[in-house]
Amino acid sequence: MADALTLDVGPDGIAVATMNLAGRPMNVVNDELMLPLAAIAERLHTDATIKGLVLTSGKADFCAGGDIDMISKLESAQQAFDATMQMKAVLRRLETAGKPVVAAINGHALGGGLEIALACHARFVLNDPKLKLGQPEVKLGLLPGGGGTVRLPRLIGIQAALQLMAEGNDVSPGKAQGLGLVTDLAADRDELIAKARAWCLANPKAKQPWDQPKFRFPGGDSRSPAVVQMLAIGPSIASAKSWGNYPAIQHIMSCVFEGGLLDFDAASAVESRYFAACVMSPESRNLIGTLWYQLNAIKKGASRPAGIPSAKVMKLGILGAGMMGAGIAYVSAKAGIDVVLLDTSQDAAERGKAYSQGLLDAAVKKGRSSTEKRDALLAKIAPTTRYEDLAGCDLVIEAVFEDRAIKADVTKLAEAQIGASAVFASNTSTLPITGLAQASARPANFIGLHFFSPVDKMPLVEIIVGAQTAPETLARGFDYVLQIGKTPIVVNDSRGFYTSRVFGTYVMEGIAMLKEGVHPRSIEVAGLQAGMPMPPLALQDEVSLSLGLHVADQTKKDLAAEGKPFTEHPGLSVVRQLCEIGRIGKKAGQGFYDWPAEKGGEKSLWPELTRLYPTAAQQPGQRELIDRLLFAQANEAARCYEEGVLRSVADANIGSIFGWGFAPFQGGALQYINAMGAKRFVERARELAALHGARFEPAKVIVAMAERGGQFAD
């Protein structure tokens, strides 16, 4: 325990405390760190030889935040309340010794890490634009429970503090200095410690602003007119985005509002009460379970075959420089990979490269990149029409038209150029991988790497394992996805794989409602209330109705050829009808919506929609609509699990949130069932099936869980 914090008192009486938790890549706030910090705080009060304290870290980060393992083990609201009050007592002792305490922030200071720094009298930060400062707790359904909601508004003002805490986004040292969060920046570690030390010596009796007799909130407290106005509209602005699905946001606002009327200690206690409410909420359990534990498991390679040495892609070939190929080229070159970008004409290939140029020019303009970095990245992308240029590629990804014959053709041409051990991947969104691999001379090296659009923004890649894909091929695909900084999920081959298949149930359910006479606006609102980032009809317009119809028709044809039945979704006839009258979606300017021609214009629901599908006199309640939208997805995800398309629960949950935005606070498509309990899910699914059709009949795997107990778990 002694190792977690070492103390080195200099001849000037300034002590430097260095946080360095043993056996951990990063410092986190837990007992191991807080106990020695408490001892140091006491020593500040009692040891006259110590004149001041500089707090820094011996790791690459300053402190990454609360120990999630510890938070997850809190079993009651009382325990959560007590744990945070204990931490806050230590920080309060630290800042009230009548001696200067300075944070020398040498790396990320996030969550509880930033809260420790806020309890210091000054904060010096290494001027590294990649260094992050922030309170991201809200992203896991929590709030800063170590005094953040009390100190931050008192330091930088209520509005700026609320924004940082309610959105959970981090800021760079420069931006943090602009907000008043940072005292000064330092060029390197030596300067950082020297500046912190000098500040201690210059301010021997440092006191926090909030401990000064005439303290005023910068910008006013919760009673001042400007703040009152902002706080009055704050909740509606927040719920316009979150639809009340994220109680942590409301709790943060309550902490700041109530805390802004109270003295420091009372505000601290209020914060701990709201923190306890967050910890006990199903939303935080869902978010932590999926976006912390399951995501970390995935990143550590839970879905990667074990025992295969990791490999890096040095040279990548991309066939097809269209929307997807251009995006894949950009993210790969950004990761330092040499890219050969091939299309049927040099012009098309150059256009694909120009996509990167556009993104990089914008980044340079915004000061996020330099012209040198831009030029270095662009130099990594070689546009071509010559297959010979693919020689030496360790991986080739095809992103040509969604057409089996064209894909077969380019597979053969590329394989003739690349080495025997190179991997060939298809970015198909719908065509089964095993079928596409028939064109390959080495199907063991053939795999699906399904990217999402826009590639530079979407965090997920769905890796599809064909019937003959070798474990080595999977491992190399997996490593490549991590190499480009994306999150891989691994699924077995199937029509629509996992993401497209389940995503489709969401939009089609919304469309089926329209056909039944549900008012389109109620459908769209239900989608947002359910926690989806985009409502179903707007989303179908975005991906295009004609594409949806094409995929359904192709599926029908394929199933007929295989002698299998095709069950048409009731929403499909609506899609067909709209396509027949040219309303094929956003790209045509018209679908379920009229889309504005000019950028920045507002889309509006097509007024004739309710004439084509008359609104029923009796409208269902929103709960019914929300349940339908979520049950349709969760049930289909469970079917994917039952059929072995999904290989893990973590992949199911992360894939649903990162792939198509399944309501994050529910923790993902299978966690939705876990949190509700299989029994309740089955009961409600059967009710929905009786009312709306057999597609809601609960998957066998859920019925079995309802009968025998258990839940989806890896």
Q: Catalogue the active-site residues.
A: 450
Shortest spacing between CB 319 and ligand NAD, in angstroms: 5
Choice between 214 and 457, CB closer to ligand NAD: 457
Which position among 187, 204, 401, 573 is part of the footprint of ligand NAD (CB under 6 A)? 401
Count of residues near ligand NAD by CB under 6 A: 24
| Stretch touching ligand NAD by CB under 6 A, among 14-22, 242-250, 306-314, 405-413 | 405-413
Q: How far is 125 from 657, CA to CA, in rounded Å?
A: 34
Nearer to ligand NAD, 79 or 344 (CB): 344
Distance CA 192, CA 188 (A): 6
Torsion of CA 604, 610, 611, 617, to 10 degrees: -160
* Contacts (CB under 6 A) with ligand NAD, residues 266-325: 319-325
| Closest approach of ligand NAD to the CB of residue 493, in Å | 15
Q: Please tell me the chain's helix, strand, coil percentages from 3-state DSSP, rounded to the nearest 5.
A: 55, 10, 35
* Residue located via tokens 């260094």: 131
Which listed range, 353-361, 394-402, 584-592, 673-681, lies at the site for ligand NAD (CB under 6 A)? 394-402
> Coil, strand, or helix at residue 56?
strand
- The b-or-e profile of 28-57 (16+ CB within 10 A means b, else e) is bbbebbbebbbebbebbeeeeebbbbbbbb
Q: What is the CA radius of gyration of the chain?
A: 28
CA-CA distance, 441 to 689, in Å (whole number)?
Answer: 46
From the CB of 255, what's the least distance to ligand NAD, in Å?
41
Contact 331, 356 (CB under 8 A): no
Instruction: Tell me the window of 98-106, 274-282, 367-375, 393-401 that interacts with ligand NAD (CB under 6 A).
Output: 393-401
Instruction: List binders of ligand NAD among 494-523 (CB under 6 A).
Output: none
Can you tell me the distance from the alpha carbon of 125 to that of 500, in angstroms, rounded to the nearest whole number?
Answer: 45
Residue 159 or 546: the one with the smaller Cβ distance to ligand NAD is 546
Cα–Cα distance measured from residue 508 to residue 575, given in angstroms and rounded to the nearest whole number: 9
Least distance to ligand NAD from the beta carbon of 148, Å? Answer: 40
User: Residue 103 or residue 349: which is nearer to ligand NAD going by CB?
Assistant: 349
Q: Is 402 in the site for ligand NAD (CB under 6 A)?
A: yes
Shortest reach from residue 599's CB to ligand NAD, in Å? 20
Which one among 158, 162, 267, 410 touches ligand NAD, defined by CB under 6 A?
410
3-class DSSP state of 189? helix
Question: Helices (DSSP H) in 47-157: which residue ranges?
Answer: 68-72, 77-95, 112-118, 148-156
State the greatest distance between any 2 C-alpha atoms of the chain, in Å, as a whole number. 87
Tell me whether residue 247 or residue 320 sits nearer to ligand NAD (CB atom): 320
Which residues, 6 or more positions from 68, have their beta carbon under 8 angstroms from its beta carbon? Answer: 28, 140, 288, 292
User: For residues 512-522, b (16+ Cβ closer than 10 Å) or e, as one string?
Assistant: bbbeeebbbeb
Which residues neighbour 193 within 8 Å (Cβ) at sequence distance 6 or greater? 16, 54, 56, 104
- Describe the crossing of helices 499-516 and 545-561 by its angle, rounded to 10 degrees: 110
**Cβ distance 615 to 607 under 8 Å?**
no
**Cβ atoms of 463 and 477 closer than 8 Å:** yes
Does residue 629 sit in helix, strand or coil? helix
Let me know the angle formed at the C-alpha of 156 by 206 and 219, rounded to the nearest 5 degrees. 110
Q: What angle do CA 151, 156, 159 make, to 5 degrees?
A: 100
Between 217 and 480, CB nearer to ligand NAD: 480
The residues facing 53 across adjacent strands are 15, 101
Indicate the residue among 248 and 321 with the shorter CB distance to ligand NAD: 321
CB of 555 to ligand NAD, least distance (A): 14
Pick the piece of the chain touching ligand NAD (CB under 6 A) from 2-10, 332-340, 403-411, 514-522. 403-411
Residue nearest to ligand NAD according to CB distances in the complex: 322
At closest approach, how far in Å is the CB of 451 from ligand NAD? 6
From 342-350, 534-542, 663-671, 704-712, give the range in contact with ligand NAD by CB under 6 A.
342-350
Helix (H) or strand (E) holding 426: strand 423-426
Interface stretch with ligand NAD, choices 168-176, 252-260, 340-348, 697-705 (CB under 6 A): 340-348
- Provide, rounded to whole angstroms, the least separation between the CB of residue 491 and ligand NAD: 14
Q: Which amino acid is at 625?
A: L
Nearer to ligand NAD, 450 or 647 (CB): 450
Smallest gap from residue 586 Cβ to ligand NAD (A): 12
Q: How far is the CB of 452 from ligand NAD (least distance, A)?
A: 6
C-beta of 401 vs 566, nearer to ligand NAD: 401
For ligand NAD, the closer CB: 277 or 397: 397
Closest CA to 634 of 574, 566, 688: 688
Q: How far is the CB of 658 from ligand NAD (least distance, A)?
A: 14
The Cα 166–Cα 312 span in angstroms is 38
Peptide bond between residue 144 and the one before it cis (omega within 30 degrees of 0): no
Least distance CB 107 / ligand NAD (angstroms): 37
Shortest Å distance, C-beta 311 to ligand NAD: 24
The nearer residue to ligand NAD, 192 or 431, going by C-beta atoms, is 431
Compose the 14-53 pattern: x for residues touching ligand NAD by CB under 6 A, - for all others: ----------------------------------------
Residue 111 token pair: 């969550």
Q: Which residues in the 422-461 window bind ligand NAD by CB under 6 A?
A: 427-429, 450-451, 453
Q: Which is nearer to ligand NAD, 317 or 520 (CB)?
A: 317
State the Cα–Cα distance between residues 409 and 417, nearest whole angstrom.
Answer: 13
Burial of 119 (0-12, 13-18, 19+ CB in 10 A): buried
Q: Residues 702, 669: contact at Cβ < 8 Å?
A: no
259, burial (CB in 10 Å: exposed 0-12, middle 13-18, buried 19+) = buried
Q: Which of 14, 94, 104, 400 binds ligand NAD (CB under 6 A)?
A: 400
Report the Cα–Cα distance between both ends of the chain, in Å, rounded: 33
Which region, judged by CB under 6 A, interacts with ligand NAD, from 225-233, 406-414, 575-583, 706-714?
Answer: 406-414
With 0-12 / 13-18 / 19 or more C-beta atoms within 10 angstroms meaning exposed / middle / buried, residue 81 is buried
Interacting residues with ligand NAD between 478 and 497 (CB under 6 A): none
Given 343, 462, 627, 636, the residue binding ligand NAD (CB under 6 A): 343
Residue closer to ligand NAD, measured from CB, 271 or 343: 343
Q: Give the residues lining the site for ligand NAD (CB under 6 A).
A: 319-325, 342-344, 348, 399-402, 406, 409-410, 427-429, 450-451, 453
